[in-house]
């Protein structure tokens, strides 16, 4: 796996990788991460990947991080951990 870029964002760490004919977009916030795989055949360059990371996509990803946190906390609470 080859790291191509760190893409700045105010709320999320974004790292772009190239691996096995795919771009991997890794989003990290605190203890949580989301990874999206995009075939290199579906885009013309890593610049297309940056275009995918538009405001609407990033707002949804940040909301998903909040849901991940809520789900994990609920599991801790249910199990008395």
pLDDT single digits (tens) 19-64? 999 999 999 999 999 999 999 999 998 899 999 999 999 999 999 9
b/e map 53-70, b = 16+ CB within 10 Å: beeeebeebeeebeebee
Looking at the structure of the chain, the number of domains it has is 1
pLDDT of residue 45: 87
Q: The pTM is what?
A: 0.91
Residues 12, 58 contacting (CB under 8 angstroms): yes
**For residue 29, what are the domain limits?**
2-78
């Amino acid at each position: 796996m080859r790291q191509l870029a760190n893409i700045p964002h105010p709320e999320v760490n974004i790292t772009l990788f190239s691996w096995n004919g795919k771009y991997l977009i890794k989003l990290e916030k605190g203890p949580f991460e989301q990874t999206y795989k995009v075939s290199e055949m579906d885009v013309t360059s890593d610049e297309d990947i940056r275009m995918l990371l538009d405001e609407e996509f990033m707002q949804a990803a940040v909301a998903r991080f909040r849901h991940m946190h809520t789900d994990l906390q609920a599991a801790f609470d249910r199990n008395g951990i």
